[in-house]
Amino acid sequence: MNNVRDVIRTTFVSFRPDLLYRNPVLLVTEISMVVSIVAVIFNGFFQLPFTADYRMFYISVIVLLFLTLLFANLGYAISEGQSKSIVDSLQKFRKEAMANLISGEDIVPVSSSTLKKGDTVLVTKGEDIPMDGEVIEGNAYVSEANITGESRPVLKVLGDSVTGSTHLLTDTIKVRVTSDPGETFIDKMISLVKKSSRERTPNEIALTVLLSGFTLIFLMVVSVLYAESAYIGLTPNMEFLIVLFICLIPTTIGSLLTAIGIASVNRMSSFNVMAKSGRAVESAGDIDTIILDKTGTITMGDREAKEFYPAAGVDRADFIRYCLACSQNDQTREGMSIVKACRRVLGDIANDEFQDYEFIPFSAVSKFSGIYKGDRYVMKGSLRALENKYGIKDLSIEGICKEISSRGGTAIPVAVEGKFVGVIEMTDMLKPGIRERLELLRKMQIKTIMCTGDDEVTAKQISYEAGIDEYVANSTPEDKYNVVLSEKSRSRMVAMVGDGTNDAPALAKADVGLAMNSGTAAAKDASNMIDLDNDPTKLIDIIFIGKQILITRGALTTFSFANDLSKYFVILPAVFSSFGFLGFLNLLDLTNPLLAITSALIFNTFIIIFLVPMALKGVRFKPSSVSELLKRNIYLYGIGGIVLPFIAIKAIYVALASFGVMW
């Protein structure tokens, strides 16, 4: 009920001229309504014929102009109401909680509102995470249902980001706070939705300028008609000219333009994607190159240790012990999977031999991780990285790696003190339906590029199975950035997805950068969209939504200008046939000029309310090439926009005449 009241209030508040100035079509419509009211009140001054029939005509003009503004404002108010609902739902989750602040050796209970960036807190099972942060120790399952709506808990490991007000379901983790009060993820989302609902996109601004130009042109045309009528001795009827002016300017698209812009951001929000601006949404519709990670985007992402292949002369149990040693402190999902697989074979052995070794975490630059003590080491990672780092080479190990890669798996060789001791085979399956979705991108003439840290053989096999256009094997963060630069140098619009700090430069450079909510703060700051569901494949859906938004604006613009063209050939002949010219163009035989004008104005008013749902929901979108979409627009909304006014205005004219309205 409150939402309905807000929509009604916004609808009527939007009549204020200081709010309409950004939409010239609606502003001149309101001015025309005011002029009509003044002309009726002071009809003697304006020399208007004021018989009973004319009086009803003038009143109907005023009412229809009011309804035109009302329906236009209603579309805007509904889209604003949707934005307010999103903000209200986010504000419900913004709550204060107690936090266990780690201060030196002590744990101090404090309010979450007092936490600041850089603080470290301890969160235990059953507690809410007090503030946005990054996991620096431990791993646990977190419920993000209040943010994403997804009931399934999410595993958070070392380096993952967590969102304030989400709930810890298992274990204990240490979190480093990454935001100050008022700058949390929820705070930013609230701010972004409020901001985006009032921010106009470049296309919207360009279309507004075009509509302003048409409005000015027709204002000059009507002014000339007024002057010419007076010159040839006719008494110019101001109401005729006002209605003629309103029917000729593109009121349809002018009325829906703002609603389309706001609804586009709302549509992304309802899809659990927060767009930082309308420009980002608009850019999604123009994308013609998409850069995808392999793991988690094209494949399932949860790579698991499948098999252990010891090198010649190496005992299998010894090799698995080495695998356990270099992985037991590795809190990545891959590392945890390897430990789990090793434990299945070895049981709960202590592995004390490597107790004093120091751990080296995996990085995208080094491409390996493991343990070392002095010059002794046990490392796992990329074959080339280990060969280059330690100057070792083994043709049999390379053969095992190629064999694993040829079947789409990931080979992780293990090196110990100057030699390879074996290879771990990691498996990862293609996401169900990914090939079909990528085929839809190809139909839209969108180029796909896969960046993966895997070797050439694996990258080639996966790209073939998934239907990827191009791939970059042994990819580094710099490679992603260079791919973005390379594509943009060809004047292509680029989209990419990322979640790590090392993805931030490429995310910032891409036209559409989608960061995961579970990603690092740097990645989220660099991107212009954030996915609350942490689903990298959603970038494909975002492009579909962006295309639909552009198609909707294009379809309604085409329809608006097409039906304006029809109204020229309906109204002008009917009006000027009584003066003895243009009568031969009166194809609909509208013999009563007043009734013809009224019929046209009724159509002009009520077509807006029928198009509001289309503006808010978007037109039906079928992935296809630009030329096919253009043809569909022309046939359906261009020709349809020309034919419909002829049929509708004639039907309204006949209906009014049958009810005895013959002023």
- Please name the residues in contact with 438: beta carbons below 8 A apart, sequence gap of 6 or more: 448, 466, 467, 468, 540
* DSSP structural state of residue 430: B
Choosing from 293, 455, 499, 535, which is the catalytic residue?
293
Counted residue by residue, the chain has a size of 663
Is residue 227 classed exposed, middle or buried when 0-12, 13-18 and 19+ CB atoms within 10 A define those classes? exposed
Residues 463 and 486: their CA atoms lie apart, in Å, by 20
* DSSP structural state of residue 495: E
Sign for the CA dihedral angle at 462, 395, 361, 314 comes to positive
Helix (H) or strand (E) segment spanning residue 44: helix 43-46
Spatial CA neighbour of 642 closest among 582, 598, 578, 587: 587
Residue 628 to residues 481, 622, 623, 635, Cα–Cα distance (Å): 33, 10, 9, 11
* 357 three-state secondary structure: coil
Residue 296 to residues 376, 485, 499, 512, Cα–Cα distance (Å): 34, 24, 11, 19
- DSSP code string of 98-128: EEEEEETTEEEEEEGGG--TT-EEEEETTPB
- Please name the residues in contact with 109: beta carbons below 8 A apart, sequence gap of 6 or more: 98, 99, 100, 101
564 as an active site residue: the answer is: no
Q: What is the CA angle 600-606-610, rounded to 5?
A: 135
Residues 562 and 236: their CA atoms lie apart, in Å, by 28
- 184-217 burial string, b = 16+ CB within 10 Å, else e? bbbbbbbebbeebbebbbebbeebbeebbebbee
* 10 three-state secondary structure: helix
Q: Which residues are catalytic?
A: 293
